Structure 1
């Protein structure tokens, strides 16, 4: 299987997953989080499509390991992967998204380490780097949303509880 085709399939699955979560979410904030994440998946899809169209010399790399890995990756986006009842806040939604993105980064890095073909390994590392940048973005948004829980909002009042 071509590595770049696998990456495109992976992003399509991610986009569908986050769109499904957005459509099932009952709270506007959570719905917005998952809609934004679906759009981010589309941006990654477009990036990988540009790589496929010739921006990368090794975009036609073929990997035998991907056929066996497809099922493992599909588990990340399994329909029962997120229990929406537990995702009652946008912060919880971002935390779930971070878990999903971390699993994707780990998955791509492991595939790159196991790959024997040098071109396929280089492309898997490039894909893992893109996925890591996406994870970093989600983590930054999460930290921004969570900041009021971690820091005082104003010197005269406190949003932190006594221990």
Structure 2
């Protein structure tokens, strides 16, 4: 399996996982977050498919972080829902691990890439995967201990899992 095929499989697996999380929740805000994460993974997949034949392709920007912040604010207004969400903590933690692994994978690809255009695309995908991790990290912390959750946090580094 070459690097592009591996990346494509990784993105499709991530998309399927987010679709599964979306189907498994009745909370509309979470469903929207997971659906948007799945759409981003599809976008990454489509970009990688194009990169196989065209190293100069571009990738549309993501807006998921801002959208997730807005959806997350609605979750904060109703902290009573956290009891029903706690059953999914393992799923959120697994999704964080998937995103952390993706960040490392794409950062490594970008660092090793000799074609600067490909390297830039891999760096952008890594950045979007960091945003996904940030969303999941905030969600995990909120569900785990809502009484201590004060506000959305943005992380520049991914902690070691």
Q: TM-score, with normalisation over the residues of structure 1?
A: 0.51
Whole-Å Cα distance in 1 between the matches of residues 32 and 90 of structure 2? 15
Residue 34 of structure 2 corresponds to: 37
Instruction: Determine which structure has greater relative contact order: mean sequence separation of CA pairs < 8 Å that are 6+ residues apart, divided by chain length.
Output: 1
Residue 145 of structure 1 corresponds to: 143
Structure 2: 5+ residue stretches without partners: 59-85, 150-161
Secondary structure of 2:145 counterpart: helix
**Alignment partner for residue 131 of structure 1, among 121, 129, 142?**
129
CA shift, 1:141, in A, is: 1.0
Of Structure 1 and Structure 2, the greater helix share is in 2
CA shift, 1:118, in A, is: 1.2
Whole-Å Cα distance in 1 between the matches of residues 146 and 13 of structure 2? 33
Cα 1:39/1:143, change in 2 over 3 Å? same
Whole-Å Cα distance in 1 between the matches of residues 32 and 109 of structure 2? 28
Cα 1:128/1:146, change in 2 over 3 Å? same
Whole-Å Cα distance in 1 between the matches of residues 138 and 46 of structure 2? 26
Cα 1:142/1:41, change in 2 over 3 Å? same
Aligned residues: 117
Cα 1:97/1:2, change in 2 over 3 Å? closer
Higher alpha-carbon deviation: 91-100 or 33-42: 33-42
Cα 1:20/1:94, change in 2 over 3 Å? closer
Whole-Å Cα distance in 2 between the matches of residues 11 and 47 of structure 1? 7
Structure 1: 5+ residue stretches without partners: 61-87, 152-163
Give the CA RMSD over aligned residues.
4.0
Give 1 or 2 for the bigger CA radius of gyration.
Answer: 1
